[in-house]
Chain A
Amino acid sequence: MKLLEYQGKEIFSSYGIKIPKSHLASNVYEAIEAAKDIGFPLVLKSQLTVGGRGKAGAILKCKTEEEINQKFQELMKKEVKGEFPKSILLEEMADIRKEFYLSFFLNRTKRCYSIIASSQGGVEIESFKNRIIMDVPIDGITSDLASRVANDIGLVDNEKIAFIEFIQKLSKLIHEKEAELAEINPLALLGDGTFVALDAKVILDDNALFRHEDLKKYEELSELESQAKENGFSFVELDGDIAIIGNGAGLVMSTLDMVTDAGGNAGAFLDFGGRATTESIYQALKVISKVKQIKTILVNLFGGIVRTDLVAQAILKAYHDNTIQVPVFARITGAESEKAREMLIESKAKLFNTVEEAINAAVKY
């Protein structure tokens, strides 16, 4: 789960990590109230999960109330990589002496946590020179290791001490909250010698949420997503008209690739997991029925222990109670496939022997 900047900063703040004075606003009145407390000049920062806000012009400076009036509306209407903000963060302008980069992340390759730090912050991570990477023990960073990171990015004396303290707080946060990533870019050294997190990019481990009641409030699911989640499905809404359902993430991804290769446009990705029952397939069809613009449903189910007649039963049930009206093209391997074929003969569903045939039928429809 990727947090918005203000959410990440809330968690930072609870660990004593310094953040600039800021307020969240979801309308211009709130923004003007917030500005009274923060003072001018200030920055408006669109709250988006996608990266590259700065470049896209979704972070704007304001010197007056009039400017807020105009720029706040502008930001709320501004789409970045397909995403619109629900709120804007107003933040004081920091008295920056120098900018750094710091991130803690789960290193998939090395299978441990690693730190990346650089004395050049505020730019894209790929363009860094002089960046250092260090692996962190599973229990968190030691003061010795923190001190080495500080040395390597050229910090001495009080600044070094302040940095070590900062990085230890961040390490504690990462391990206690079970984050996959905590990135601060830029991390600013202020005129008064303290470090402050000017940005916050935090990704939490979804699988660990069950033991973090306090973090569940950040989970924002659309109605369809939460319905899918309740049923244990993995669901991604796309923008085409063919819904793809299958058992297994890899299989559904592979089907999505083949649909695209065949010239089709997928409108939904739904993996209903390992256990295919009449009820789970029916629920999957129910979720799909609520996705707009779906013209066909493609089912790709590979299973040795799946009874295809139970799948056919689910499809018939969904047609019968009008959950779905669109045709279903299915490739289902498993037991009782002749019986399943006969059951579906009068319906708008069609079974195929190969996934290629099913895809062709769906794309041509």
Chain B
Amino acid sequence: MSNKFDLFDILIGKESDDDFKKKPVIIQGMTGSFGSTHTRLMKEYGTNIVAGITPGKGGQSFEGIPVCDTVKEAVEGTAAKISGIFVPAPFFLGAAKEAIDNGIKLLVAIPEHVPLIDSLKILEYAKKKGAIMIGPNTPGIIVPEVMKVGIMPAKPFVQGSTAVFSRSGTLMYEVSHTLTQSGYGQRICFGIGGDPINGTNLIEAFNLVRDKDDINSIVVVGEIGGDAEEKLAEYIISTNFEKPVVAYVAGRAAPKEKKMGHAGAIVYGNYGSAESKVSNYARANVPVAKRPGEVPDLLRCRLKN
């Protein structure tokens, strides 16, 4: 499914499209303090936000953007296929389902603390309807200097040819910032999410960029917990993934069996440990940075070879 789904087509479109780089985006939960702050920032960045949804506030407007009661009204006449979901976690299931039911193909699920069963349900539903979800518990997605759907600051990111996928928000900013300072701009960056269940996992993220000629390398920012990095290493080996990959793994010094801030960042025995991730990456010839600041150097080496 991931192979058929063209993320860039959805996000920015083709040059022949009337709305090339101006694809319509709706924001669910736009009028809350969190949603409104970031709607303003996204709009400033160039994202074409065409409507916001807050049940009960239909008819109002915010920053010149109309507010609707339902997703149905918001997509009517705008043909939006992208939704940024900013509602509180208890309302996520309903909001995401409504979005999918009304033709949204890319859900950017910002809220933290979404119950796992709700994530599973939405994931299953999205697959059935040919949509994909990024998150939950993600900072969102950014195509530097074109558009962003999420809460990331604009400053760390510049246009370029690297893709950055991260399980952590602030580390995505930090690593992109160090890349930018070293002259490595980014084509796309997105947060996989800090939860145990990710709408788009690392392997699917890799599939989304694998055939993109304008992406020459990938930086993966991981952390302890689960086996996403281990499975990714397997994928890189078994599918003969050719683009250079550099990784960072946070949490080497974290104690076991403690949730380190993210619901997904927890080690049980050896399962989810940093050692396991680093050794699997080594088998896949993926260098792992000791600290975020080391990522650009490792990338430079990999790009030379």
Give the interface of A toward B (CB within 8 A). 2, 49-50, 106, 108-109, 111-113, 126, 138, 175, 178, 180, 205-208, 210-211, 234, 236, 238, 246-254, 256-261, 266, 269, 271, 273-275, 302-305, 333, 354, 356
Contacts and interface: CB of A to CB of B under 8 A. Distances in A.
B251 interface: yes
B170 interface: yes
| Dominant secondary structure of chain A at its interface with chain B | mixed
Given A250-B261, A254-B250, 13 more contacts: A109-B228, A138-B121, A205-B116, A236-B258, A250-B167, A250-B168, A256-B253, A257-B291, A260-B253, A266-B253, A273-B112, A302-B174, A305-B153
A261 B290 contact: yes
Nearest to A181: B268
Interface of B is mostly: loop
Given A112-B120, A266-B253, A251 B174 contact: yes
A234 B259 contact: yes
Interface string B62-76: 000000000000000
A109 B226 contact: yes
A180 B196 contact: yes
Interface string B183-215: 000000000001011100100000000000000
Interface in B97-136: 112-117, 120-121, 123-124
A60 to B, nearest CB: 24
27 contacts: A49-B257, A106-B196, A108-B196, A108-B227, A108-B264, A113-B120, A138-B117, A207-B114, A207-B115, A234-B259, A238-B255, A249-B194, A250-B170, A250-B223, A252-B260, A252-B261, A253-B251, A253-B261, A256-B251, A256-B254, A257-B252, A259-B253, A260-B252, A260-B253, A275-B34, A302-B173, A354-B293
B12 interface: no
B185 to A, nearest CB: 17
B305 to A, nearest CB: 26
Interface of B: 34, 37, 41, 89-90, 112-117, 120-121, 123-124, 151-156, 166-174, 177, 194, 196-198, 201, 221, 223-224, 226-228, 231, 248, 250-255, 257-265, 269, 290-293
A234 B117 contact: no
Contacts of A178: 115-117
A122 B120 CA distance: 31
Contacts of B90: 210-211
Q: Name the residue among B155, B221, B226, B261 with the largest chain A CB count within 10 angstroms.
A: B261
Contacts of A109: 226-228, 231
Contacts of A354: 293
Which of B116, B124, B264 gathers the greatest number of chain A CB atoms within 10 Å? B116
Nearest to A208: B115
A17 B103 CA distance: 44
A207 B89 contact: yes
Given A106-B196, A205-B117, A257-B251, A304 B156 contact: yes
Contacts of B253: 256-257, 259-261, 266
A106 B120 CA distance: 10
Contacts of B169: 248, 250, 274
A271 B196 contact: no
B260 A207 contact: no
Nearest to A304: B153
Nearest to A246: B170
B196 A250 contact: no
A251 B259 contact: no
A143 B201 CA distance: 31
A108 B153 CA distance: 29
Given A50-B257, A108-B226, A257-B252, A248 B197 contact: no
A304 B152 CA distance: 8
A229 to B, nearest CB: 12
Contacts of B254: 253, 256, 269
B255 A248 contact: no
Nearest to B196: A108
A108 B114 CA distance: 15
B124 A251 contact: no
A250 B250 contact: yes
Given A208-B116, A356-B293, A106 B197 contact: yes
Nearest to A113: B120
B224 A253 contact: yes
A325 B217 CA distance: 47
A207 B113 contact: yes
Given A111-B197, A112-B120, A261-B290, A253 B41 contact: no
B165 to A, nearest CB: 13
B292 A254 contact: yes
Contacts of B226: 108-109
A1 B116 CA distance: 13
B224 A302 contact: no
B41 A305 contact: yes
A138 B151 contact: no
Contacts of A112: 120
Given A251-B174, A254-B171, A302-B174, A236 B255 contact: yes
Given A207-B89, A260-B253, A247 B261 contact: no
Contacts of A304: 152-156, 173
| Most chain A beta carbons < 10 A, residue from B37, B41, B112 | B112
